[in-house]
Chains A and B, each alone.
Chain A
Amino acid sequence: MADQSNMDDQNEWQLARHPSGKPPTRTMADLLFLPETERSLMNWLLRQQSATLAEVVAHLNQPEAMARNLLQELIDQGFMQVVESADEPEYRPKMAIRKGRKVPTNLWDALE
């Protein structure tokens, strides 16, 4: 396996900070540009589908405040959503609806 720390130094993987306001719509490709900690939490959550705060804290093995901050940051950036379930709120990745490709409408109409 290649050295992970090495890859994070490459500026091709720098994600531009989004100016404050409405979080942008995120796709799977955006996830690749997250820094290591955020990215690995997202990767884990994608496999889990969703998790409670307690589960995230246990996974990160970090203080609750830190987990909260990390989750909030991911929500602000548009990567995560909170889903209210029966007992406890669940954190869930919010991978966007993939954008359709821009092709002149008449071309699509011809195909349907």
Chain B
Amino acid sequence: MAQIISIHSFRGGTGKSNLTANIAVAVASQGKRVGIVDTDIQSPGIHVIFGLDEDSFTHSLNDYLWGRCAIEETAYNLTPGLQTADGLANISGQVFLVPSSLKAGEIAKVLREGFDVGLLNDGFQELAEQLNLDYLFIDTHPGLNEETLLSIAISDGMVIILRPDRQDFLGTAVTLEVAQRLDVPEIMLLVNKVPQAFKRESVIEQVQARYGVTVGGLFQENEEMLQLASSGIFWLHYPEHPFSQEVHAVARQLMAEQ
């Protein structure tokens, strides 16, 4: 049975998509079969980090939701194309992505007509089974909406990302309250975009004290990440970087949880 892990943040731009991509590939590098679904239908984009452009995929999650194809037809094996700074990466597991469409018409159609939330649930389970996944990561739209609530409700583990920012702090309390009402078994907080000047230990202590939930990792804001600008998997490009070390530490914790 695949472990379903959803990645959330109450506010946008916390680094959900980049961290999801990095953590998922880190888990796959341990020999696991990993799937990622982009449920951010309104503002998709994780496929961009993997270098997949709209022309290189024929099916997206949207097609599945409209009944145009089976869920497994929307999954792309990204493993052969993973890039390091100087060539192809070679990892022992497999990474699959179900992208959401970046076509304006497709996005508008979903907003206009809505879709069956139950279909999304069936799709996750079917995908995990068909691809024989060990882990399924769900990247989400910031804040709370129907697909986010579903992905929280069916998760075995949930990762909430926040910045050391007062608005993020208040919003995270909301997400946590909702997660508790949906009986999520495991919750981990990740603090991202921490200014270099902040003391790691005191940020972790503050956040843990505030929510009573474990901080699984802390990531500093860094120049290399800004330069990569979502054009690749950070840890494959900068394997020695502290950000990358932290990605692997989080991946290990997630794998230890099951």
Task: Tell me whether chain B's interface is mostly helix, strand or loop, or mixed.
Answer: helix
CA A100 – CA B113 in complex, angstroms?
5
Once A4-B180, A31-B149 are accepted as A-B contacts, the answer to whether A100 and B121 lie under 8 Å apart by CB is no
Number of A-B contacts (CB under 8 A): 81
| Contact in complex: B108, A111 (CB < 8 Å) | yes
The digit string for A19-53, where 1 denotes a CB below 8 A from any CB of B, is 00000000111011000000110011011010000
Would A49 and B176 count as touching, CB distance under 8 A?
A: no
Interface residues of B in 183-201 (CB under 8 A from A): 183
- List A contacts of B213 (CB < 8 A): 1
A100: B residues at CB distance < 8 A:
111-114
Q: Which of B150-203 contact A (CB under 8 A)?
A: 150, 153-154, 176-178, 180-183
Quick check: is A78 within 8 A (CB to CB) of the other chain? Answer: no
Chain A residues contacting B53 (CB-CB under 8 Å) are none
Let me know if B223 is at the binding interface, CB within 8 A: no
Chain A residues in the interface with B (C-beta under 8 A)? 1-2, 4, 7, 13, 27-29, 31-32, 39-40, 43-44, 46-47, 49, 93-101, 103, 108, 111-112
B interface list, Cβ under 8 A from A: 104-105, 108-109, 111-118, 121-122, 125, 144, 146-147, 149-150, 153-154, 176-178, 180-183, 212-213
Q: A96-B116, A100-B111 are in contact. List 20 more A-B contacts (CB 8 A).
A: A1-B212, A2-B177, A7-B180, A27-B117, A27-B146, A28-B149, A28-B153, A32-B149, A32-B178, A32-B182, A39-B181, A40-B183, A46-B121, A47-B154, A93-B118, A95-B118, A97-B115, A98-B117, A98-B147, A111-B104
